[in-house]
C-alpha cells in the first residue's frame, strides 16, 4: 500500500507511553498511517527489558513508530516535548493520573497553544471513586469479573493474553477517531480517556445481561450451560491433537449427523430442535466423544470443513508462526533488537482488499532523535548542545 493511501497519513502523534495499553493505541494509529513519535526516557522505555511474559510487549506494540529519548524533568527535554506538541494532532499517555500534568503537559495547558490537539489518556479507571487507584490488566480482570468467568469455580483465572490492555487501547482509538471526526466540524480537539476497568465491565456485560434476563447469575465458562449441545473441545485418536467443534443450528445438526453416519441421532425426534439437544447433552455427548476419539484430527477437520461446520484445532501461540492462513498476509516481518528476525501479527484489517504493510521496523532506543529534532528546526549545533546537557539522547 502506498504511504499516501493509508487512511491516517498526515496525522502527527506524540506518544508518552509504556507497557501495553498506551503503546497499543499508538501502534493501531501507526499501522493506519499516522506518524507516531514515541517519547522514551533517557536510556529507553523499561518495557524493552522485561523478561518472561513481558518480553514480547515492546516488539509487538511499537512497530511503525519513531523513537526519541527525552529527560522530561530537565528544562531542555521538556522544551523539546512542548515543541513536538505544538503542532501535533494527537497525544497518547498512560502514566499514573497527574504525571504529565506535574510536568506542565496537561491537556488544559497544551490546548492553549494547540486547540486542535486530541489528548488521549489511557488509565486504570474513568472518573469515580477508584479513579486514583493503580491498575493493571490482571487487576481489572479480577475485579471486573472476567477472571471469575474464565477459571473454574473457586479458581479465578486471568485470560491468557493482555486482553484488557489491548481492547482498552482499541477503545482509546475509537475515542480518538470520534474526536477527529468532531474536529472536522468544530476545528477543536478534545480530551479522550479510556480505561481498563470499564473495558472489563463492557466485556462481561453479556454475563450481566444474562443475569438480568434469566434471574440467575452466569456461571464460570468451564461449568457453564452452553447454548448448544455440541460446543466443546474433543479428544481425537492422538491425545495431543484436540479439536473444538460447534453445531449451532438445526440445519448444522442435520448435516453433521448425515456426514458422520449418525442417522439414529439425526432421525430421533427428541433431538430435532436445538433446545431439546441442549437438555439431552448427557445422552448425545458420550456418543460424539467416542466417535471423535477413534478418528484422527486431520480426518475430522477434512470432513467438518466439507460440510461447513465451525471447528478449531487447539493450537499454541508458537504454532501460528507456521499457520498457512496467517502467512498469506497476516504476519509482518520484523527485526528484534538483537538483530534476529521474526514474524508478528499485523493489524487485523483490510482496506480495499489490501493489508496494512510495515512502514517502519521496531525502533532502536532514540534512533530517530536527531532526525526528529532537525524537523523541529534544531540546527546540528543545537542538537549537540541538547545531547551534552542530557536533555536528549
- β-bridge pairing 350-351 and 341-345: unpaired
Average pLDDT, the chain: 97
Per cent of the chain over pLDDT 90 is 97
For residue 383, give the C-alpha cell.
Answer: 542538537
Count Cα atoms within 13 angstroms, Cβ side, for 168.
33
One DSSP character per residue, 361-382 reads -PPPTTTTHHHHHHHTT--HHH
Domains and CATH numbers, the chain: 3-203+332-389 (3.40.50.10540), 226-317 (3.30.1540.10)
Task: Write the burial class of residue 211 (CB in 10 Å: 0-12 exposed, 13-18 middle, 19+ buried).
Answer: exposed
Cβ atoms of 228 and 288 closer than 8 Å: no
Cβ atoms of 76 and 392 closer than 8 Å: yes
d(CA 46, CA 48): 5
Stretch 40-68: mean pLDDT: 97
Stretch 213-239: mean pLDDT: 94
Per cent of the chain over pLDDT 70 is 99
Stretch 187-208: mean pLDDT: 98
For residue 387, give the C-alpha cell.
Answer: 545531547
* Chain segment 97-150, per-residue pLDDT in tens: 999 999 999 999 999 999 999 999 999 999 999 999 999 999 999 999 999 999
* Chain segment 247-291, per-residue pLDDT in tens: 999 999 999 999 999 999 999 999 999 999 999 999 999 999 999
Please tell me the predicted confidence (pLDDT) of residue 225.
Answer: 83
Model pTM greater than 0.75?
yes
d(CA 11, CA 116): 12
* Chain segment 55-108, per-residue pLDDT in tens: 999 999 999 999 999 999 999 999 999 999 999 999 999 999 999 999 999 999
* Chain segment 352-372, per-residue pLDDT in tens: 999 999 999 999 999 999 999
Stretch 314-332: mean pLDDT: 97
Q: pLDDT confidence of 213, banded at 50, 70, 90?
A: very high
Please tell me the predicted confidence (pLDDT) of residue 189.
Answer: 98
* Chain segment 336-349, per-residue pLDDT in tens: 999 999 999 999 99
d(CA 143, CA 200): 9
Active site residues: 165
Three-state SS letters, 328-345: HCCEEEEECCCCCEEEEE
Q: pLDDT confidence of 3, banded at 50, 70, 90?
A: low
Amino acid at each position: 500500500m502506498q504511504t499516501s493511501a493509508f487512511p491516517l497519513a498526515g496525522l502527527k502523534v506524540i506518544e508518552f507511553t509504556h507497557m501495553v495499553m498506551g503503546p497499543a493505541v499508538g501502534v493501531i494509529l501507526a499501522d493506519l498511517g499516522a506518524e507516531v513519535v514515541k517519547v522514551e526516557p533517557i536510556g529507553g522505555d523499561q518495557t524493552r527489558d522485561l523478561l518472561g511474559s513481558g518480553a514480547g510487549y515492546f516488539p509487538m506494540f511499537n512497530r511503525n513508530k519513531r523513537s526519541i529519548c527525552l529527560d522530561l524533568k530537565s528544562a531542555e527535554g521538556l522544551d523539546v516535548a512542548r515543541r513536538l506538541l505544538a503542532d501535533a494532532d494527537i497525544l497518547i499517555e498512560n502514566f499514573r493520573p497527574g504525571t504529565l500534568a506535574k510536568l506542565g503537559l496537561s491537556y488544559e495547558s497544551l490546548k492553549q497553544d494547540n486547540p486542535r490537539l486530541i489528548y488521549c489518556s489511557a488509565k486504570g479507571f474513568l472518573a469515580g471513586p477508584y479513579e486514583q487507584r493503580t491498575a493493571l490488566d490482571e487487576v481489572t480482570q479480577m475485579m471486573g469479573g472476567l477472571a471469575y468467568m474464565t477459571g473454574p469455580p473457586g479458581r479465578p483465572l486471568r485470560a491468557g493474553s493482555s486482553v484488557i490492555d489491548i481492547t482498552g487501547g482499541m477503545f482509546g482509538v475509537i475515542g480518538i477517531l470520534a474526536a477527529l471526526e468532531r474536529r472536522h466540524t468544530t476545528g477543536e480537539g478534545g480530551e479522550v480517556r479510556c480505561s481498563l476497568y470499564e473495558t472489563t465491565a463492557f466485556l462481561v456485560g453479556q454475563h450481566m445481561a444474562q443475569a438480568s434476563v434469566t434471574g440467575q447469575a452466569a456461571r464460570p465458562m468451564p461449568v457453564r450451560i452452553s447454548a448448544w449441545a455440541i460446543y466443546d473441545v474433543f479428544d481425537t485418536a492422538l491425545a495431543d491433537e484436540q479439536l473444538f467443534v460447534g453445531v449451532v443450528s438445526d440445519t448444522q445438526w442435520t448435516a453433521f449427523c448425515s456426514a458422520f453416519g449418525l442417522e439414529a441421532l439425526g432421525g430421533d425426534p427428541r433431538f430435532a430442535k436445538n433446545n431439546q439437544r441442549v437438555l439431552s447433552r448427557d445422552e448425545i455427548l458420550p456418543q460424539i466423544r467416542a466417535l471423535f476419539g477413534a478418528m484422527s484430527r486431520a480426518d475430522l477437520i477434512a470432513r467438518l470443513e466439507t460440510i461447513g461446520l465451525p471447528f478449531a484445532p487447539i493450537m499454541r501461540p508458537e504454532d501460528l508462526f507456521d499457520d498457512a492462513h496467517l502467512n498469506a498476509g497476516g504476519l509482518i516481518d520484523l527485526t528484534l533488537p538483537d538483530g534476529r528476525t521474526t514474524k508478528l501479527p499485523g493489524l487485523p484489517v483490510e482496506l480495499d482488499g489490501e493489508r496494512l504493510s510495515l512502514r517502519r521496523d521496531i525502533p532502536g532506543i532514540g534512533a530517530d532523535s536527531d532526525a526528529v529534532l532537525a524537523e523541529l528546526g534544531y540546527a546540528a549545533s543545537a542538537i549537540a548542545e541538547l545531547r551534552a546537557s542530557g536533555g536528549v539522547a
